[in-house]
Structures are given as C-alpha cells and as structure tokens.
C-alpha cells in the first residue's frame, strides 16, 4: 500500500480550530483526518477513514472468532416494533423521527434490539437453534441534546452492536462472558487501555451490565475503583446503607429564626454562631439539603420531584439522570415556584413533602438518610430552619434515590475499601438484557419438552468511531497524533528530505521495495515543501515509524525514527527493507 | 474461512414468498440471503452480507487502483447546502426530510454532490491540487414512490459514489474516461454482463452521461441498440427530425362530423368508411393524438400540459417523466377537465392549445410533427374531428418533446440502422456534471495565472446492493442461486452425505485441509437432515462448487459438482484438496 502526500486528499492545519476542545480531536482536525460536516456530524478524510476501517476490521475479526455472525439491518425503520418495545416514546427527543411520503412514521435506529429480536423470531423456533450471537457494524443515529464537535458524542456514529439469544439464564451468562472475553481481546489488539466497571442499563432495560471505559481525564464518564477490586461507573455506585440510629433522646423538632441563610454555608455559619452545639461545631453534613427539579416523562407529562441529600454533598446530575431515565430532568424555574406556593425557595423542608403531604410532591432521599438520623433543614418559611428533625419520627420520605455525588474516599459498597474517582471514555458496553424485548415482541422457542419458553437476550456494543477518538485522545502528544501500528493509516512515513535527483530516486526505490515487502508506506514526495515542514507534518500525522531519506544517502544510510519515543537511528540502506519489515511485524 | 450449516444463521424456505416477483429475488429470500424489514427496506443475513461485502471489496479495489481516494460523509445532513444547489426542492417527495430536536431541517442524502463540493472547497484552492477523484461507499436514502420488495429499488441502499474535480473540460473528459474504464474493469471482475448506453442526466444536472445497464428481461430500464453501435437508454433516445413538407396543395382544414370516435382506432375506422382517401387507407399515423397531463412542479405549483404525438404511438410515461424532471407528471382527471372547459375530452385539437391560444395551455409535440405535415385530429367539439390540419399553417406548437414511445425498428439518430429494444438493470451511471454544483456552492481554484476559475465536476455511481441483485437475477436458474466465485459466500459447499462416523470424520478432515489451503468452505454438517434436503439446499444457496462426501469415501473418492453446469466427477480423496484449490484459483 502506497499513499503519496503529493496527491493525498489532505491538508494539515497550523491553527487549532476554535471549537475543538479535546487534544486528540484538535490533532485529528489539524492532521486532516476528519472535518466537521454539520452540528454533531463529521466527514472522514482518507487518512481518518483508513484508521476507522482498521478499527472496524479488528472488531469484526474478534466477533467472528468468538462465533458471532454478521448481519446488516437498515438504519431507517418503521415505528411499529419500537412502539411495541416502548422505545418509540422512551427515547424522547434523542430519537430522530421522520415520516415517509405516505405519512408513515419512521425512525433512525439508535440501536437494533427490536429488529434483531424479530429476525430471530422470523427464522428460529427451537431451543436447538440456540445459543445464537449475531452482530452488525452499522451507522447509528441519536439526536444528542449536546452533540460535541468531535467523535465522542456525535449524532451519527459507527457502532458494532451484537445480540445474544439463549433459552435460559445460564446460557445468557455464558454468552455474556464470551462477549466480555471478545471485548478484552478486541481492546487489547487495539492497544486501548480499559477498565471494566459495573454500569447502569439505562433505557435499554435489563439487569447485569458492565462498561469498558478507557481511562483519560477528557472522558465524559466518571467511574470509581477501590483497592479491593470494586469498579463501577459513578452512575451505578450503590451507597452502603447505615444502620438505623436510636433517637429516643433527641429533643422535639424546633423551628428557629435563621435570617439570610438560603445556602448550606450561610446556614452552618449562622447555626454555629447562634445555636452552637455543645459537643462540636455544626457542619454541612448535619444539614439536609432538599433540591427540587422538574421531571419530564416520555408521555409528555411532567411533575416536580424533591431530592434530599446530606448538605455536604451535591446532587450529581448524571447520577440523577441515570436513575430517572427514560424521563428527563429539567431545572425548577422561578415560574415553577410561583405555580407551587407550598415550596419556599431556599428553605425547603420535608414537612411539606411526600405523596401524603400537603403539596403531594414526591420526595426521595439519599440512602444515608435512615431512620433516626437528625437534621437541620428548611422550615418551609422564608428565613427559618427546623432543628432536630428526625427521619422516621418527623418525616417519612417516599423512598431513596442514588443521586448524591460520589466522592473520593467514600466506602465501596462491597467493603473493599475507599473509592477513588477517575474519568474515562465509554468504548464498550455489555448487557444482560433478559426477556424485556423477547416478551414485548413475543420471541419464544420450543424447549426440549415441546413447551414454549421466552428467549433471554444480551446486547453488546462497541463504538467504532468512538474507539478511534479514544485511541487519539490517549495517544496524542505535543507534536500530534501517535497511532498504534495496528490502526495507523500506514506503517512508515517516508520523508524525502532533499531535492537532488539522487535523493528523490533513492526514496522512490526504497518505497517500491517496502511496498513489495508488504510495508504500508505514506511517502512525502512533495517537491515544493521544505524538509522542516515535512517533519512537522509527519509528527502531526502520527504514523508509528518515520523514515528520512536525505543527506545520509550519500553514505548509504537512512534515518529511522520512532514517532512515540522520538528515538532515532541510522540504518544502512542495504538493511533498510528488512529492518522496517521487521518493525512492522512486531507492531 | 469455514461456515457450518449446523449453526449458520439461515433458514432455507420451500415456499416462494407471495410478494416477491423476480426470480433472483425469490431465490435470495428462499436461500436465506435477505429478509424484508419494512416497506422498501431489507436486512442482510450472513450469507447475503458476505456477497454484498465481496462486491463492495471489488468496487473499492478498482476505485483505489484508478487513483480515487476513499472518504466518508454522514448520511444525515443539514438542509443548507441542498438548498443552495436547489435539490432540497427539486428532489420533491423522493427526499427523506426530518427535523432535529431544535427544529432544524435535515435530510437523508440521496447522493452527496453538495458535500463533496464543499469539502474540496474547504481543503483545496489551486489548480495544482487537481485533478482529484474522491469516493465513498455509503448507505443512501430515497423515498421511492413505488419501492419494490427486492434490492433493485429500495428506500435504503448501498452505493459507491465518486466525484471528479478538474480545472477544465479536457480534464473532466479524462477523469470521466478513467472512471468509465474503472467501471468496465469492475463489472468484468464481478462477471456482470453490461451495455454502456447514453443516458439522461435527470435531476443531477449536467451534460454528457452514460449508464451501465445489465441486460435482463426483468430490468426496469428499456434501452435501444443499433447494428452500427448506437446505444441509449430509451429515455435518452433522440428522434431524427424529418425535413419540412411542402403543403401548397393541401386543401383548407375542414371540420367533419365524426360521432362516437373518442379513440384513434374508432376514428381511423370511421374515416375510412365515411371519408376514404383516394390513394390509400387512413391509418393511425395520419392522426395527431393529443394527450393532456397535469405537471406538478417542485415549488408546489401545477399546470396542464398537452403532448401531441402521431396517433400510431403512445406517450411513454418514463420518457415523458425524464423530460419533465424534477417536475412530476400526474393524470389529468375528470375534475381537471371540468375546471378547464376549453378542453374537450377525446376530441382535443391543437387549435385551442399553446401559450398564445384561448386556453393558454402549453402544447409540445413529437419531433416528427414538422412544418407541413397534415393531420386528422380533434376539433375541440364532442364528436367532431378536423381534417387536413397543417402544422405551421393551421397551428404552431410551443416546442417539441421526446415523449413518444420508441419502437423496434425506429431509425437510430446517428443513421447507424434500425433500433432494437431490450431491458436492463442500471448498475452504474457516469456523468459529466460540469459546473452546476461548483457554481451553486462557489468552488473556485486559482489557475496558473492566479485567476479564479470555477471547477468542473463529474459524478459516478455504482449501486452496490443493486449489483448483488443484478448478479442474482442474471445467474439464477431453476434450482436456485448460482454465484460467480468472486462474489460467492464460499468456494465449496461440502455436503456430509451420511451419518457414519467414517463419513463425518472424513468430511471434517477434508474441510480442515481445505480451510488450511485457503479455500472458503460452507460445510453442511447438519446431523438431522437427509442428504436429499442437503443437496437441494446446496443448489439453492448456489456456491459454485458442491462437494459430496458420502458412500464413495469407502473407495477413497468424493464427488465434485459444478453448480452451474451440473457436471459431476469423482475425485480421489488424496487429490481433493489440490483439485479444489486449483478450481478456486481459476475462478
């Protein structure tokens, strides 16, 4: 394979595009791998598309190797199957919907659970046909609320999605583990670092689910790990529930005048000044913060919801959103407060909250707020708070919700030690879907006794274009991109560093020999560019081995440079092909 | 590569699906290559997807070999570029349009002229950058008025579209010829028969254009060929224009009472009975048939149009539609006649037609209706016709239109002899677009003098999924599919014809050796199926070589059968691998 910079459809840019935030994405744009093509969509230029196809090939090989079979569905689908599964509504604004010329409803599929279920129902009818794993590598659509300019969160993206079908839970577990092992091999081959964490299953439904996250500070997901091996997406972290606390000695709740204390900080300071504790100072953890939001349901209705958390913690919007999916969370506006005069902004307290209360507003609390805990909290009157309000005595929440932020040092739910937080990019997601789709779409097979049983399913995704972005973000350096060889657009970036006939002819000859030896070469044969420009471009483009054919040629040597380490060595021209071929083979 | 029928995701069907009309499509369904997934869309099962990817690979290799570079655009695009080119409106109902969550207009791209133009404008600015050919292999969308169940006319389909960019007409011609040669190589490699015919350029705009049609009676396109080498899509056939005819001797036009003659046949019969010609009998070619239609323009307006053709020919709806694109043609209804009382149904004549006439209705005639020709035609009065109406003396059309049917034996426009009609499937289309898109989107480069010149473009398409359908339709036989090896899902379909341990073990051993030798094997290892069922399935699935491992094994032989010819031979087991490997290599 040979690409020539003299006619390659690419332009490297010296300027950093203003709207590109992430270093890898900036480098992809500067090196001419991708171009924006609209809000949240982009086009692949030749170098970028080669990387994408390399990633796709490795994913396909590993899916085939585990015995999954490749199929391909349309992206444009009729409404009906998604209506039956509930996802036509549940996906809310995230789903691209359209009508055809006859006025029939269609969608652009975000994933294909329904269609795979129906296809298996169409073809198979017996337990003997199972287990089955089928997959596709396909363009997916999602009308993101906040698409990013890069490849990490696009409205159109390439995804590998596979689905397993089994007669029983043990079969599903085996299919799930087979996919998990295939994902490990895939990401290992892609040279992508990853952690496997417990995950929420979101709008997909289902039970057990894990994510493969690529650790990087630019990742959108936060995850936790403990020394003892617990790992979870922050969205999925379960708070250990404390034991109930005896409260016989707690005095009756009493409302106090606390002027100008609309925040936790002002309240704690005021309490320490005017109502000091005998044992220690008040702190934020003694207060109960009640946060009101508006929840919009897929059916178009909305309702207020109040979340109570210890005052030293914030509500984490992503954890809250994950709990409420497919409903969406919106801020509670001043107009909303006007419509709900029972709620006193800044002084909200549980006495007027809950399904059975005066307001009738649903009230969910952090799992740490157990029976007997005592709190300083709003008295539902401007400038007033209530002290010694005891959970289970003075108020009873409607339930608990995992919405409080997770913090470094929080205990792991399995007792394996303190949690540490980090960020990552979600590159893979594996799910035990269970029977949700099979039930909705009536996928049953006969078991060995001739009885109809509902099939149980798994669903497994890898973001193909997102994997390209994750590799770029985790390998980029100050000079530019820095591809692992297995996905790089070429093995060798050969720079013609000189205009003499000898150098040009020598570079062309070496290139021809390399190509014959199976080495993929990107030849910078531009006659008008200075060597300095070519070197900078080579470093920006990030092919793993840079070869310079220049002045050394007179003494029979070329320079070979490792893009990542920067290590250079002179290699005798006579040995060059074998040397480079060996580099290529060893990755 | 090894596929096992025992776990392959496939079901062969004995019944012919009721809605499948074409033999190849019926076989694709029966053999489990594709399944319908909605109106005008389908899913690919593992066998079908392998064929599709083989076709895709060959197209990609030939595009790369000609120096075209692969890129990839989104299918979901913003309205704006298509607004600027006019195609947002011109595509009418054929375009899938949708809004995103912010209410912005988007479309699912039918082709990508606009985006390619903008990308080149984005990256390039000098004549030195050109020529350039770039392409993609991408899912395309078209909201077909009459989608067919098969792969020939789908609403979602896979297409290779490429675009050339040149500074001048000579460059465009060279790029066009390079694509033409690459298409010839591609279709040759795909073993697809084709004819190259002159074509209309349709809504794409532009001038010169040719189609690659695969000849088959099930094709949707009609084309013509002459002994002297003229070849054109029937839509693009140009009628030779006769010389004007002297008409000094023609008597004045005279209206006659012709009761109950609303059709050409009744009129000719009546004329021969009541107004016989002295020299010969009247025939249909002496009459002028005026057909009225309603034309719907992309801007939402509509207008009546009357087409005059010699009475021995019908108006060809496809030729008419091709001439009027992007406007669409609808029947002229009884209600339309009521609204236009100037038009007398069945007795329409040119005296009241034309922009300057009483009705003001546009009147276009077949090119054969030249000055001096005399006609029997409607007198715009029920039961009356006019005789000796002379074109250029008694009426003047607004212009001519190529809408009359083309018939076997019509003269070729280049004088190369009588035309012969045939049908074919359009598998490729190459166009000299010219400067339409470059002008609309302002794509200019500096020429060698530093002057800005508008780039000239070509556009070139191959229907990838349609090529699969064309191969199926032109190779299917009574037994089923019959793939050329180069696109077949496997080289060898190995049937285990027996249940004895020796036969099963022998078949497995031979399979392993074949796979090691690089032969792609589909092994029918199903233990519950009788040999007869397996043979029928093998013939239906259509892998080019069928190998039977059965009773002969005891004598050390296997049977090798050519799927197409049906020829069988016994081959010694010891020679089997080499024999089959050689078959595979020779195609």
Q: What is the 3-state secondary structure (H, E, C) of B245-294?
A: CCCCCCCCCEEEECCCCCCHHHHHHHHHHHCCCCCCCCCHHHEEEEEEEE
Distance CA A388, CA B197 (A): 90
How many CA atoms are closer than 13 Å to the CA of B229, on its beta-carbon side? Answer: 0
Residue of B nearest to A75 (CA): B156
- The minimum CA-CA distance between B1 and chain A, rounded to whole Å, is 10
Tokens of A523: 């030849």
Q: What is the pLDDT of residue B205?
A: 46
Q: Angle, nearest 10°, between helix axes A573-585 and A501-516? A: 40
Quickly tell me which residue has 């150098």 as its tokens.
Answer: A503
Q: What dihedral angle (degrees, nearest 10) is formed by the CA atoms of A564, A570, A572, A577?
A: 10
CA-to-CA distance for B25 and B29, rounded, in angstroms? 6
* Signed CA dihedral, B363, B367, B371, B374: sign only: negative
Query: Do residue A8 and residue B74 have CB atoms under 8 angstroms apart?
Result: no
A30 Cα to chain B: minimum distance (Å): 12
| DSSP string across B86-99 | THHHHTGGGSEEEE
Please state the domain extents for chain A.
Answer: 22-192+429-474, 254-400, 492-585
Query: From CA A514, how far away is CA A523, in angstroms rounded?
Result: 11
CA distance A149 to A181: 32
Q: Find all residues with CB under 8 Å of B35, minimum gap 6, and list them.
A: A119, A122, A123, B29, B42, B43, B45
Q: Which of A430, A528, A546 is nearest to A488 (CA)?
A: A546
Does B74 contact A115 at a Cβ distance shorter than 8 Å? no
Q: Which residue of A has its CA nearest to B94?
A: A101
Tokens of B444: 């200019």
CB B31 within 8 A of CB B37: no
Residue A47 to chain B, least CA–CA distance (Å): 9
- What token pair was written down for A214? 């690529």
On chain B, the residues whose CB falls within 8 A of the CB of A41 are: 74, 76-77
Q: What is the pLDDT along chain A (587 residues), one digit of tens a residue?
A: 999 999 999 999 988 777 788 999 999 999 999 999 888 889 999 999 999 999 999 999 999 999 999 999 999 999 999 999 999 998 888 999 999 999 999 999 999 999 999 999 999 999 999 999 999 999 999 998 887 757 888 999 999 999 999 999 999 999 999 999 999 999 999 999 999 999 875 544 455 899 999 999 999 999 999 999 999 999 999 999 999 999 999 999 999 999 988 889 999 999 999 999 889 999 999 999 999 999 999 888 999 999 999 999 999 999 999 999 888 899 999 999 999 888 999 899 999 999 988 889 999 999 999 999 999 999 999 999 999 999 999 999 999 999 999 999 999 999 999 999 999 999 999 999 999 999 999 999 999 999 999 999 999 999 999 999 999 999 999 999 999 999 999 999 999 999 999 999 999 999 999 999 999 999 999 999 999 999 999 999 999 999 999 999 999 999 999 999 999 999 999 999 999 999 998 76
CB pairs under 8 A between A and B: 138
Report how far residue A14's alpha carbon sits from residue A536's, in angstroms, rounded to the nearest whole number: 10
Task: Give the pLDDT of residue B186.
Answer: 98
The answer to whether the CB of B462 falls within 8 A of the CB of B468 is: no
Omega before B326 cis (within 30°)?
yes
Is the distance from CB of B89 to CB of B95 less than 8 angstroms?
A: no
Q: What is the DSSP letter of B565?
A: T
Quick one: how far is CA A97 from the chain centroid? 24
Residue A79: closest C-alpha in chain B:
B38
Query: Is B46 within 8 Å of A71 when comparing Cβ atoms?
Result: yes
Taking the CA atoms of B306, B307, B310 and B312 in sequence, report the sign of the dihedral they define. Answer: negative
What was the pLDDT predicted at B587? 61
Pairing mode, strands B2-4 and B521-524: parallel
Among the partner residues A10, A38, A49, nearest to B77 by beta-carbon distance: A38
Please list every residue in chain A whose beta carbon sits closer than 8 Å to the beta carbon of residue B41.
74, 76-77
Contact between residue B430 and residue B209 where contact means Cβ atoms under 8 Å apart: yes
For the structural domain made of A254-400, what CATH number should be given? 3.90.960.10
| Contact residues, chain A, for B122 at CB < 8 Å | 35
As a whole number of angstroms, the distance between CA B188 and CA B358 comes to 57
CB-CB under 8 Å, A93 with B98:
no
Query: B46 to chain A: which residues are within 8 Å by CB?
Result: 69-71, 134
Rounded CA separation B281/B259 (Å): 19
The C-alpha atoms of residue A253 and residue A46 are separated, in whole angstroms, by: 70
> In the beta sheet, which residues pair with residue B411?
B418
Q: Is the pLDDT of residue B272 over 70?
A: yes
What DSSP element (H or E) covers A24?
Answer: helix A23-30
Q: For A420-442, what is each residue's pLDDT tens digit?
A: 999 999 999 999 999 999 999 99
Chain A CB contacts of B45 under 8 Å are 71, 123
Residues of chain A in contact with residue B142, where contact means CB-CB under 8 angstroms, are none
Please give the backbone phi and psi of residue A340, each rounded to the nearest 5 degrees, phi first. Answer: -120, 75
What does CATH list as the number for B492-586?
Answer: 3.40.50.800
Alpha carbons A406 and A421: distance in angstroms, whole number = 8
- Select the more confidently predicted residue: B145 or B4: B4
Nearest to A156 among B76, B123, B134 (CB): B76
- Minimal-distance CA residue of chain A relative to B38: A78
Q: Is the separation of the CB atoms in A45 and B14 below 8 Å?
A: no
Average pLDDT of span B227-250: 93
Q: Which residue of A has its CA nearest to B72?
A: A44
Query: What is the residue-wise DSSP string for A389-429?
Result: EEBTTTB--SEE---BPP-TTPBPTTSS-B-EEEEEEEEEE
Q: What's the pLDDT tens digit per position in B75-115?
A: 999 999 999 999 999 888 899 999 999 999 999 999 999 99
> How distant, in Å, are the alpha carbons of A571, A581, B474 from that of A516?
19, 10, 38
Cross-strand pairs, A186: none
For every residue of A300-350, DSSP letters joined together read S-EEEEEEEEETTS-B-HHHHHHHHTTSEEEE--HHHHHH-TT--TT---G
For residue B428, report the phi and psi dihedrals to the nearest 5 degrees: -150, 155
Contact B38 A156 (CB under 8 A): no
Q: How close B38 comes to chain A (CA, Å)?
A: 6
Asked if B45's CB is within 8 angstroms of A70's CB, the reply is no
Partner residue opposite B9 with nearest CB, options A11, A39, A134:
A134
CB B431 within 8 A of CB B211: no
Minimum Cα–Cα distance from A8: chain B residue: B69
The radius of gyration of chain A from alpha carbons, rounded to an integer in Å, stands at 30
* B86 vs B297: CA distance, rounded Å: 13
The DSSP call for residue A165 is E
User: For residue range A115-137, what is the model confidence (pLDDT) as tens digits?
Assistant: 999 999 999 999 999 999 999 99
How large is the C-alpha radius of gyration of chain B?
A: 30
Distance from CA of B164 to the nearest CA of A (A): 12
- pLDDT at residue A586, as a whole number: 76
A67, A73, A137, A330: best to mutate for the B interface, most B CBs within 10 A: A73
Residues B155, A76: C-beta atoms closer than 8 Å: yes
- Do A166 and A456 meet the contact criterion of CB atoms below 8 Å apart? yes
Question: First and final CA of chain B: distance in angstroms?
Answer: 17
Residues of B in contact with A11 (CB under 8 A): 123-124
Q: Determine the length of chain B.
A: 587
Pairing of strands A231-233, A221-225: antiparallel
Question: From the CA of B347, how many Å to the nearest CA of chain A?
Answer: 36
Distance CA B563, CA B27 (A): 15
Task: Using an 8 Å CB-CB cutoff, list chain A residues near B132.
Answer: 7, 9
Domain A492-585 matching CATH 3.40.50.800: the answer reads yes
CATH number for the region A22-192+429-474 comes to: 3.30.930.10
Give me the residues paired with residue A36 across strands.
Answer: A42
Given B43, B67, B156, which is nearest A115 (Cβ)? Answer: B43
User: Do A43 and B73 make contact, defined as CB atoms within 8 angstroms?
Assistant: yes
Contacts B78 to A, Cβ<8 Å: 38-39
Running DSSP on this structure, what letter comes out for residue A373?
A: -
Q: What average pLDDT score do residues B323-338 get?
A: 92
Stated length of chain A: 587
Q: How far is A465 from chain B (nearest CA, A)?
A: 12
The residue of A37, A102, A121 whose CB has the most chain B CBs within 10 angstroms, and thus the best one to mutate to test that interface, is: A37
Can you tell me which residue has the tokens 């705009």? B205
Could you give the CA distance from residue B315 to residue B68 in angstroms, rounded to a whole number? 41
Are the CB atoms for B228 and B416 separated by under 8 Å? yes
- CA–CA separation, B45 and B43 (whole Å): 6
- Tally DSSP H helices, then E strands, for chain B: 14, 30
Q: What is the pLDDT of residues B331-367, one digit of tens each?
A: 999 999 999 888 999 899 999 999 988 889 999 999 9
The residue behind tokens 């000299």 is B432
B/e letters for B129-165, b = 16+ CB within 10 Å, e = fewer, are: bbbbbbbbbbbbbbbbeebbbbbbbbbbbbbbbbbbb
Query: Is CATH 3.30.930.10 correct for B34-237+421-474?
Result: yes
Tokens of A309: 């958390």
Closest chain B residue by Cα to residue A5: B129
Residue A16: the pLDDT is: 75
């Amino acid at each position: 394979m040979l690409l020539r910079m003299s006619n390659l459809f690419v332009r490297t840019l010296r300027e950093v595009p203003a709207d590109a935030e992430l270093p890898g994405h900036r480098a992809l744009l500067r090196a001419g791998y991708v171009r924006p093509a609209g809000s949240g969509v982009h086009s692949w230029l030749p170098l970028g598309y080669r990387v994408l196809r390399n990633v796709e090939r490795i994913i396909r090989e590993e899916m085939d190797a585990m015995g999954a079979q490749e199929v391909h569905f349309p992206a444009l689908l009729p409404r009906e199957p998604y209506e039956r599964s509930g996802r036509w509504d549940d996906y809310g604004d995230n789903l691209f919907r359209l009508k055809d010329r006859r006025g029939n409803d269609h969608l652009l599929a975000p994933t294909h659970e329904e269609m795979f279920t129906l296809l298996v129902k169409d073809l198979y009818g017996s337990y003997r046909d199972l287990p089955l794993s089928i997959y596709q590598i396909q363009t997916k659509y999602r009308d993101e609320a906040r698409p990013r300019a890069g490849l990490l969160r696009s409205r159109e993206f390439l995804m590998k999605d596979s689905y397993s079908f089994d007669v029983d839970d043990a079969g599903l577990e085996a299919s799930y583990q087979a996919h998990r092992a295939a994902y490990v091999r895939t990401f290992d081959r892609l040279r992508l670092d990853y952690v496997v964490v417990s995950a929420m299953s979101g709008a997909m439904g289902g039970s057990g689910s894990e994510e493969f996250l690529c650790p990087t500070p630019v990742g959108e997901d936060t995850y936790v790990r403990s020394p003892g091996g617990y790992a979870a997406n922050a969205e999925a972290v379960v708070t250990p529930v404390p034991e109930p606390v005896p409260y016989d000695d707690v005095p009756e709740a009493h409302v106090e005048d606390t002027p100008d204390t609309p925040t936790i900080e002002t309240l704690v300071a005021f309490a320490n000044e005017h109502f000091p504790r005998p044992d220690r100072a008040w702190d934020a953890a003694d207060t109960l913060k009640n946060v009101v939001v508006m929840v919009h349901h897929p059916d178009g209705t909305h309702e207020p919801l109040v979340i109570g958390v210890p005052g030293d913690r914030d509500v984490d919007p992503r954890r809250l959103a994950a709990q409420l999916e497919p409903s969406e969370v919106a801020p509670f506006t001043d107009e909303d407060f006007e419509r709900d005069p029972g709620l006193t902004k800044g002084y909200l307290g549980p006495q007027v909250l809950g399904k059975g209360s005066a307001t009738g507003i649903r009230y969910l609390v952090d799992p740490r707020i157990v029976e007997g805990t005592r709190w300083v909290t709003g008295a539902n009157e401007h400038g007033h708070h209530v002290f010694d309000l005891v959970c289970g005595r003075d108020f009873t929440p409607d339930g608990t919700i995992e919405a409080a932020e997770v913090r470094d040092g929080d205990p792991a739910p399995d007792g394996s030690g303190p949690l540490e937080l980090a960020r990552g990019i979600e590159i893979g997601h594996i799910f035990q879907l269970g029977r949700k789709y099979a039930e909705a779409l009536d996928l049953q097979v006969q078991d060995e006794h001739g009885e109809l049983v509902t099939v149980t399913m798994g669903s497994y995704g890898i973001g193909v274009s997102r994997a390209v972005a994750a590799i770029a973000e985790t390998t980029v350096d100050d000079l530019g991109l820095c591809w692992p060889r297995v996905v790089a657009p070429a093995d060798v970036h050969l720079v013609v560093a000189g205009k003499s006939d000898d150098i040009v002819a020598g570079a062309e000859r070496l290139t021809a020999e390399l190509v014959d030896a199976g080495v993929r070469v990107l030849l910078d044969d531009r006659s008008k560019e200075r060597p300095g420009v070519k070197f900078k471009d080579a470093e920006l483009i990030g092919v793993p081995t840079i070869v310079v054919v220049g002045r050394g040629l007179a003494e029979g040597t070329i320079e070979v440079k490792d893009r990542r380490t920067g290590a250079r060595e002179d290699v005798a021209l006579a040995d060059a092909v074998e040397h480079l071929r060996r580099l290529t083979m060893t990755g």
